[in-house]
Amino acid sequence: MKMRKLGTTGIEIAPLVLGGNVFGWTADQATSFAILDAALEAGINAIDTADVYNRFAPGGQGGESESVIGAWMKDRGVRDRVVIITKGGLSMGENMEGLGRDYLTRACEASLRRLQTDRIDIYMAHRADPATPIAETLETFQALIDAGKVGHAAASNYTAEQLGEALAAAGDGRARYAVLEPHYNLVKRDEYEGAVEALCERENIGVIPFFALAAGFLTGKYRSREDLAGKAREMTAAGFMTPHNLALLGVLDRVAVRHGATPAQVALAWIMARPSVTAPIVSATSLGQLRDILKSTELELTAQDLAELKG
């Protein structure tokens, strides 16, 4: 598996990032450990999580995903073999939200405890915080970097304007965002393509998109509202179920048949072929799903495939 450089960080990662959003939620600890073991053995060396995973799930408190990953790293003794990416800033309870100096520092310390590590390789602002001056946020990131608790500062869900403002404010004791985690996939392209992508290319920002399979929609297993009924991601995936997107599943089917592949593999190969993207984030709740996903790294789409998928 050919490694890719993550922007200006000096870090090399595999062409897929393992998403930890399912750990401690739709994948229990034993299943999560098995998936993490198999991914690492296959060459996947970067794991993405966040402190709020899985606060949004029934009964969730937040921190479940980080705790599972931390327990796995300690049990397996693999901390030095993986790149840990986590995020802070979203609400974890009363007076526990935002990117201000006090809370962001506390959020980082809490993530470190759950992950059972002394450092976070890539620490992200989960989304922009209009209530906090960007200079304060970047100064806080820099203080965490200087203390050896964070390797690189990064951002998720930033617009081109927000990212541009952050990059312009960097320097003189303020960290520079080195990585962006945008919402981007074959059926959700408008937020990234255009100004955000151009800025990332110009500034050599590493890009690791989330929802690379559109909450499972691009696997092809959801083709009607009835298919989604009772599923954990019913509300999220339902938003992708439009006539245009359902027609696109037919295109995915045709391309997949030509390559003896699955729609999910084609969708991931498409996003990995985007020059500005370092590696998409993908999650799996079973070893079978992981094996299917991993095959996408071996799939090379033709110009005809890419033209058809472009629509």
Sequence spans of domains, the chain: 4-214+271-301
The encoded tokens of residue 195 equal: 């100004």
229-252 average pLDDT score: 78
User: What is this structure's pTM?
Assistant: 0.95
228 pLDDT higher than 80? no
Who wins on pLDDT, 110 or 245? 110
Q: Is the pLDDT of residue 29 over 90?
A: yes
Mean pLDDT lowest for which of 32-36, 184-188, 216-220?
216-220
Q: Distance between CA atoms of 34 and 68, rounded to whole angstroms?
A: 12
Query: What is the predicted pLDDT for the residue at 233?
Result: 59
Whole-number Å distance between alpha carbons of 223 and 253: 12
For the segment 284-303, what is each residue's pLDDT rounded down to a tens digit? Answer: 999 999 999 999 999 999 99
Asked whether residue 14 carries a pLDDT value surpassing 80, the answer given is yes
- pLDDT of 224 reads 65
Q: Are 60 and 97 in contact (CB under 8 A)?
A: no
Inform me whether the pLDDT recorded for 102 exceeds 60.
Answer: yes
- Joined together, the tokens standing for residue 16 give 């897929």
The pLDDT of 103-122, averaged and rounded, is: 98
- Joined together, the tokens standing for residue 152 give 């690189």
Average pLDDT, the chain: 95
Which whole number is the average pLDDT over 55-84? 96
Name the architecture of domain 4-214+271-301.
Answer: Alpha-Beta Barrel (3.20)
Residue 65 has pLDDT above 80, yes or no: yes
Q: Which residues contact 274 (CB under 8 A, 6 or more apart)?
A: none
Spatial separation of the C-alpha atoms in residues 60 and 93, rounded to whole Å: 12
Mean pLDDT in residue range 128-138: 98
What pLDDT, on a 0 to 100 scale, did the predictor assign at position 254? 97
DSSP letter for each residue of the chain:
---EE-TTS--EE-SSEEE-TTBTTTB-HHHHHHHHHHHHHHT--EEE--TTTTTTSTT--S-HHHHHHHHHHHHHT-GGG-EEEEEE-S--STT--SS-HHHHHHHHHHHHHHHTSS-EEEEEESS--TTS-HHHHHHHHHHHHHTTSEEEEEEES--HHHHHHHHHH-SSS-----EEE-B-BTTB-TTTTTHHHHHHHHHT-EE--B-TTGGGGGGT---SHHHHTT-TTHHHHHTT--HHHHHHHHHHHHHHHHHT--HHHHHHHHHHTSTT-S--EE--SSHHHHHHHHGGGG----HHHHHHHH-
pLDDT at 222: 74
Q: Is 53 a catalytic residue?
A: yes
Question: Is a pLDDT exceeding 90 seen at residue 225?
Answer: no
Res 221: pLDDT? 83
pLDDT at 234 over 60: no
Give the residue with greater pLDDT, 240 vs 271: 271
What's the rounded Cα separation, in Å, for the pair 272 and 297?
8
198-207 average pLDDT score: 98
Which position among 53, 158, 177, 184 bears the catalytic label?
53
